[in-house]
Chains A and B, each alone.
Chain A
Amino acid sequence: MSTTPPLLRASGVTMRFGGLTAVDGVDLAVRENEIVGLIGPNGAGKTTFFNCLTGLYVPTEGAVLFAGETLPPKPARVTRAGVARTFQNIRLFANMSALENVIVGRHTRTRAGLLSALAHGPRYRREERESRERARELLDFVGLGGQADLLARSLSYGAQRRLEIARALASEPRLLLLDEPTAGMNPQETAETEELVRSVRARGVAVLVIEHDMRFIMNLCDRVAVLVQGTKLTEGAPGEVQADERVVEAYLGAPDDEEEPTPRSPQNRERTA
């Protein structure tokens, strides 16, 4: 174990919805340059935990420290601080082009307001040009360079998942949260995603990934935490966790595996928020 303070430290994070405790006192740390897996049966509270980290939910109890500072429960501030995420059910801006999606990801790294947009001054134009260049570079990085001008909704399913990663990376995060990035993918696409996550780490971005595909987790992760019914069951090296009988039991003894089927359709965005 290294002695540098972790990039992310969640301690005692608890999220209650009325009588239901979806996340119950979870501690988790992610260090720089680490890929950490978060596994557990459906309904275990993994996505809710992500929502607590990114400010979409305000945790009932507990604290989240990022780079030594408390993360405010405001999504915009979290993104600016350097945490980006993808969604379990793809949430792209369906009627914007792939390039525009990524440029929106740069929102917190750009400044232009209404007046500078109207004036179109040199500073504004430079910022726009840079955004465009960075976005193109990211599209190339995830392998979508040739589809920059297609609308997100007309991309293939796998491409949509990769576009979500590119959009998240556009905010220049130090930590990327991936929520089931290979759900609904075929083995080849899964292998490509594995490669992509590795090269994300090579860019100096730490990754916390929720995933059901055990092979993916075992190949990729430095450490794995297991969440069962809102509580952290165990945490350790992938081999140890896989051998842990309690983990196997939790998965096998979870008849509610079908409870939250991963939507396959790329067009599952909600119309009304």
Chain B
Amino acid sequence: MIPKTSTPAARALVVCGAALSLVSPFLAWTWTSRYPGNLTVYGYPGGSQLLTLAGALLAAVFTAAVLGVPGLRALAPAGAVRALRAASLAALTATWITVGAIAVDLGGVVNVEPGGWLAAGAVLLLAAGAHALPDDTVTEPPPAARLPRAAEGALITVVFLAAMYVLTYGITTDSAQDFLAFLPAAGFGVRALAAAGLTARFGALTARNRIAVAVAALASALVFPFTQTGDQYTAIADNILVFAAVALGLNIVVGLVGLLDLGYVAFLGTGAYTAALVSGSTFSTFDIGPWPFWATALLGMGVSLVAGLVIGAPTLRLHGDYLAIVTLGFGEIFRITVNNLDGTSGPRLTNGPNGINSVPNLTVFGFDLGTRHTLLGVTFGRFANYYLLLLAVIAVIVFVYARAGNSRIGRAWIALREDEKAATAMGIEGFRYKLLAFGLGASLAGLAGTVMAHLQTNAVPENYKFADTAPPNSAFLLAAVVLGGMGTVSGPLVGAALLYLIPAKFAFFSQYQMMLFGLALILMMRFRPEGLVPDRRHRLEFHDEQVAAAEARRTAAEATA
């Protein structure tokens, strides 16, 4: 429990801290622009100062809510103090990491200008004050007022655009220091919104407006290439999308059916190799192609489906750890096989370790994705073209996931995951349904693979390992699903984005990456086993008592209402 401090003092601390935190990003924090992001100017914030500003703004809003400013109380239906604490931590971590990085990078604290000192002090005041305030958590937030449908749709769009803005910041920041400050700031920021009860409200809003959600998500994703002038960050976004597409497919197998598949990347590879072989590349052993995209995609999905069924048929009779080990083995068999089909160790098909290179660009409905197209006055380069195609692929996968998951088939999958014996007694043929999920997951990965081969212009064995320091590989795929949140759509998307960006932005750290990855997994499983974006089922599974009590209260309230 929090020690009972006299609240007026805590309030004064918070107000001072928030005000100074808001001012500090407009001051110079260091004297030289050698520190990335130009933090030397007075008058406007630059670089990581934006993070401090965002955290401070969030904290200021919740401070106003704590003080009872009319109208703002509604912004924290579940209580403002815990939200304020999280927001203050967002500002604190961002500021201290930045100030610390200035001192470390430039060789000493003398490089921190008074503005930086002010910022560091201000966020400390803010956080201290916020943590001294007594908790005001409301266990039963009042129900949200219903807005007109159009307003709800607009609100959803605004939220998605904001989320896209945050994600874009993460993608486009090019200094490791800034990204290091960005991660905790974004994390605590989201936690502040959750503590305020806003994410729960938004969840209810999205549950009522499925179509608006789909449209808003797609629309805000479409904004990204319009904001990009060069190819650099669009290429990163493309890789994230490939990774996310595969993670979403794996989520069917792992999230819905609960099958631990440690060799899933093999299906991505199958799709990629299939596409490369029929692409018309001079390195392909077949003198066919290039095929139009739809034909390549269908073939890639088909071959991956067959691979999924062939691997699934003998293995899916195994359970739990045995299945995990056998799929791990099959994943490696794939990589080793394509490594050896080089004409010396085996028949010549894949050129062994050299892979199939010079895969030409895809042609979709007559558009060559390799050339520039001008749309609405904006020029789309090669990576932007692939970005659009990958969005379409993801939309297909999400559609399949949502429709299948919500159907008789999906319920059978979840039932098998929950209790296989009971599901069997209800007449569900376990093996058949597992094989269906395995095949569906494999063909969706195959679809992503066909695009990947063209995007990366090659198919090489090294891209399809069990574990590596960069995605996609089976370990990262599974981690994206589990860290993001099994059984949800947004979970694997968030997980994939994080797991792609973190190793990419901290490339200089690569020799410690696997260790940190393992550490992060252990910490996650200890403190948030349900993942970053939990679905209702898993949240309950891991935090039984609290949530069950809350659910019971909620239904009791609904029953009396």
A and B form one complex: yes
A interface residues (Cβ-Cβ under 8 A, vs B)? 54, 56, 75-76, 79-80, 84-85, 87, 91-96, 100, 103-105, 107-108, 110, 112-114, 117-118, 120, 124, 127-128, 131, 146-147, 149-151, 153-154, 167, 171, 267, 269-270, 272-273
A interface footprint on B405-447 (CB within 8 Å = 1, 0 otherwise)? 0111111101100111111111111000000100010000000
Other 8 A-B pairs with CB < 8 A, given A92-B419, A154-B551: A56-B424, A91-B421, A96-B415, A104-B426, A105-B426, A108-B426, A117-B408, A118-B403
Instruction: Please tell me if the beta carbons of A96 and B418 are within 8 angstroms of each other in the complex.
Output: yes
Instruction: Please tell me if the beta carbons of B319 and A117 are within 8 angstroms of each other in the complex.
Output: no
Chain B hits for A146, CB < 8 A:
555, 559
Q: Contacts A112-B408, A146-B559: A93 and B428 contacting too (C-beta < 8 A)?
A: no
Instruction: Please tell me if the beta carbons of B407 and A79 are within 8 angstroms of each other in the complex.
Output: no
Instruction: Please tell me if the beta carbons of B425 and A85 are within 8 angstroms of each other in the complex.
Output: yes
Instruction: Please tell me if the beta carbons of A93 and B418 are within 8 angstroms of each other in the complex.
Output: yes
Instruction: Please tell me if the beta carbons of A112 and B409 are within 8 angstroms of each other in the complex.
Output: yes
Instruction: Please tell me if the beta carbons of B551 and A114 are within 8 angstroms of each other in the complex.
Output: no
Interface residues in B320-340 by Cβ distance below 8 A to A read 320
Chain A hits for B407, CB < 8 A:
112, 114, 117, 124, 128
Query: Which of A80, A91, A154, A171 is in CB contact (< 8 Å) with B422?
Result: A91
| B183 close to A (CB within 8 Å) | no
Instruction: Please tell me if the beta carbons of B537 and A95 are within 8 angstroms of each other in the complex.
Output: yes
Q: Shortest distance in angstroms between A257's beta carbon and chain B's nearest beta carbon?
A: 26
Chain A hits for B393, CB < 8 A:
none
- Of the candidate stretches B29-37, B381-389, B455-463, B538-546, the one touching chain A is B538-546
Instruction: Please tell me if the beta carbons of B425 and A93 are within 8 angstroms of each other in the complex.
Output: no
Instruction: Please tell me if the beta carbons of B418 and A114 are within 8 angstroms of each other in the complex.
Output: no
Decide if the interface of chain B is mainly helix, strand, loop or mixed. helix
| B404 close to A (CB within 8 Å) | yes
Query: Which of A104, A150, A269 is in CB contact (< 8 Å) with B412?
Result: A104
Q: Cα distance A95–B535 when bound, in Å?
A: 10
Instruction: Please tell me if the beta carbons of A95 and B422 are within 8 angstroms of each other in the complex.
Output: no
6 nearest A-B residue pairs (beta carbon): A117-B407, A79-B427, A108-B427, A95-B537, A93-B418, A91-B422
Q: Cα distance A167–B548 when bound, in Å?
A: 22
Q: Contacts A146-B559, A153-B540: A117 and B415 contacting too (C-beta < 8 A)?
A: no
Q: Shortest distance in angstroms between A84's beta carbon and chain B's nearest beta carbon?
A: 8
Instruction: Output the residue of B409, B429, B536 with the most chain A CB within 10 A.
Output: B409
Q: Contacts A112-B409, A153-B540: A96 and B429 contacting too (C-beta < 8 A)?
A: no
Q: Cα distance A167–B423 when bound, in Å?
A: 11
Closest-by-CB residue of A relative to B321 is A272
A interface footprint on B528-560 (CB within 8 Å = 1, 0 otherwise)? 000000001110110010001001100100010
| B502 close to A (CB within 8 Å) | no
Chain B hits for A107, CB < 8 A:
408, 411-412, 415, 426-428
Chain A hits for B403, CB < 8 A:
117-118, 120
Q: Shortest distance in angstroms between A179's beta carbon and chain B's nearest beta carbon?
A: 11
| B400 close to A (CB within 8 Å) | yes
Instruction: Please tell me if the beta carbons of B425 and A153 are within 8 angstroms of each other in the complex.
Output: no
Instruction: Please tell me if the beta carbons of A151 and B551 are within 8 angstroms of each other in the complex.
Output: yes
Instruction: Please tell me if the beta carbons of A56 and B421 are within 8 angstroms of each other in the complex.
Output: yes
Q: Shortest distance in angstroms between A118's beta carbon and chain B's nearest beta carbon?
A: 5
Instruction: Please tell me if the beta carbons of B418 and A75 are within 8 angstroms of each other in the complex.
Output: no
Closest-by-CB residue of A relative to B541 is A95
Chain A hits for B552, CB < 8 A:
150, 154
Chain B hits for A128, CB < 8 A:
407-408
